[in-house]
Structure 1
Amino acid sequence: MNHLHRLFLLPVLLLLTACTTMYLEGLEKVGIPKRDVMVYRVEKARDTQEETKEQFKSALEQFTAATDFQGGDLETTYNKLNDAYEASVSKAEEVNSRIADIESVSEALFSEWEQEITQYSSASMKQSSQKKLESTQAHYRQLITSMKQAEAKIEPILRVFQDQVMFLKHNLNARAIASLKNELGTIKSDVSALIASMEQSINEANAFISTMEK
């Protein structure tokens, strides 16, 4: 089954790669080089991470508020938490997409750069360009590692959010609120770790953008 799955995915991945290449080549024809596309996509990923950080802060506030439930319509509480959960899922998907966008353009940019270095007739210029490439690649690896580390912290939080939202849906009573109270400490700790990781990733993005604009 896994073999068949890979066979199905291969042509899809090849098509996506071809589409990305054609898209980037089209942009270059109208004066937008891969380097500029790379900076733009890193900026978008940074902004998305900032939005995601704020969304998870907001979701945590909703979950915390729910533990102070003093009576009334629990379905309203459920709807608020479900909305917060779904908004968090949406942001998580956007983060994943932004990272994939960066990876696709970086592959094309570095491949082109490596090919162009071989065309230098000046040894000193060739050496200078090679050093610049290696420095940029090192900064890129640092950036993408930081972004993926932050992204990896999202899924465990979403699983806890989902469990609590579903449990509340199926048990609109004090027992569901008690369950949420029991998990609140872990949720707070995990969201705090996510926010710290996101902030580090945002700083890495700003540093990378700065090096690309020099």
Structure 2
Amino acid sequence: MLLRVLLISILFTLTACESTYFNAMEELGIHKRDILVDRIEDAQDAQQEGQEQFKTALEQFKEVVNFDGGELEEMYNRLNSAYEDSVDAANNISKRIDKVDSVANALFDEWQDELEQYTNSNLRRSSAAQLKSTQQRYSRLLKAMRKAESAIAPVLNTLRDNSLYLKHNLNARAISSLKGELGSVNRDVTALIKTMELAIQESNSFIKELKAGS
């Protein structure tokens, strides 16, 4: 089984076609609903890792503004490294959310198409109602994840701006200027972490409801 999953993963990489991947996984008994849960959990992991990375970036920024002797260029390098790691974390979050949305749309399209296969009208209506409810819950989840994603940009912009400023002004005056930015950076990072946490909670709720309805 492990080998087959690995081969399927390689096939997906080569074809870059989600439908090919979904069909192959279906043959192994792994349905889109299962893949959706897995990808939501992957997105949660990415957001949790992102929270830790942005906390690290904030701490690094605090170290810069509290600089009291030593190699200022080294402080810049550490701040810039924290910024670059934050960019990587942000990209990973966006990628994971996109993959969640891809399989969710495929699942809902399949579900909608299969409603036409029912001969029992009562069962069809019940399934249609469940589909609508699941889509509504998913819409709330996606909105929460996208909100967290959009909250990242202001933080990255601020980190980049301050890193660039320090790069070209490696002196005490630059440190003094950056001190005035600390409050804004702290607020943005704190708000971002809170927004991510809300998205993670929404993910947990959606997974719980999805499993309960399966």
Q: Same fold (TM over 0.5)?
A: yes
**How far apart are the structure 2 equivalents of 1:133 and 1:17?**
30
Q: What is the match of residue 39 of structure 2?
A: 41
1:99 matched to 2:97: yes
Q: What is the match of residue 21 of structure 1?
A: 19
TM superposition shift of 1:117? 1.1
**How far apart are the structure 2 equivalents of 1:161 and 1:213?**
40
Task: Name which of 56, 59, 62 aligns with 1:61.
Answer: 59
Structure 2 matches for 1:135-214, cutoff 5 A? 135-214=133-212
- Residue identity opposite 1:189 in structure 2: R
Question: Unaligned 5+ residue runs, structure 2?
Answer: 1-13
**How far apart are the structure 1 equivalents of 2:80 and 2:158?**
12
Q: What SS does the corresponding residue of 2:117 show, helix, strand or coil?
A: coil
TM superposition shift of 1:167? 1.1
**How far apart are the structure 2 equivalents of 1:179 and 1:99?**
36
- Residue identity opposite 1:53 in structure 2: Q
What percentage of aligned pairs have identical amino acids? 49
**How far apart are the structure 1 equivalents of 2:21 and 2:177?**
50
Question: Unaligned 5+ residue runs, structure 1?
Answer: 1-15
Q: What SS does the corresponding residue of 1:98 show, helix, strand or coil?
A: helix
TM superposition shift of 1:83? 1.1
Task: Name which of 110, 114, 117 aligns with 1:116.
Answer: 114
**How far apart are the structure 1 equivalents of 2:176 and 2:26?**
58
**How far apart are the structure 2 equivalents of 1:179 and 1:56?**
21
Which segment drifts farther, 16-25 or 38-47?
Answer: 16-25
Closer, same or farther: CA 18–79 of 1 in aligned 2, 3 Å: closer
**How far apart are the structure 1 equivalents of 2:16 and 2:62?**
47
Q: What SS does the corresponding residue of 1:213 show, helix, strand or coil?
A: helix
Q: What is the match of residue 6 of structure 1?
A: none
**How far apart are the structure 2 equivalents of 1:212 and 1:78?**
47
Q: What is the match of residue 32 of structure 1?
A: 30
Tell me how many residue pairs correspond in the alignment: 199
Question: RCO greater where, 1 or 2, for CA within 8 Å and sep 6 or more?
Answer: 1
**How far apart are the structure 1 equivalents of 2:61 and 2:156?**
12
Say if 1:58 and 1:84, in contact at 8 Å, map to a contact too: yes
- Residue identity opposite 1:209 in structure 2: I
**How far apart are the structure 2 equivalents of 1:105 and 1:17?**
16
**How far apart are the structure 1 equivalents of 2:149 and 2:172?**
33
- Residue identity opposite 1:56 in structure 2: F
Task: Name which of 72, 79, 82 aligns with 2:80.
Answer: 82
TM superposition shift of 1:17? 10
Closer, same or farther: CA 34–27 of 1 in aligned 2, 3 Å: same
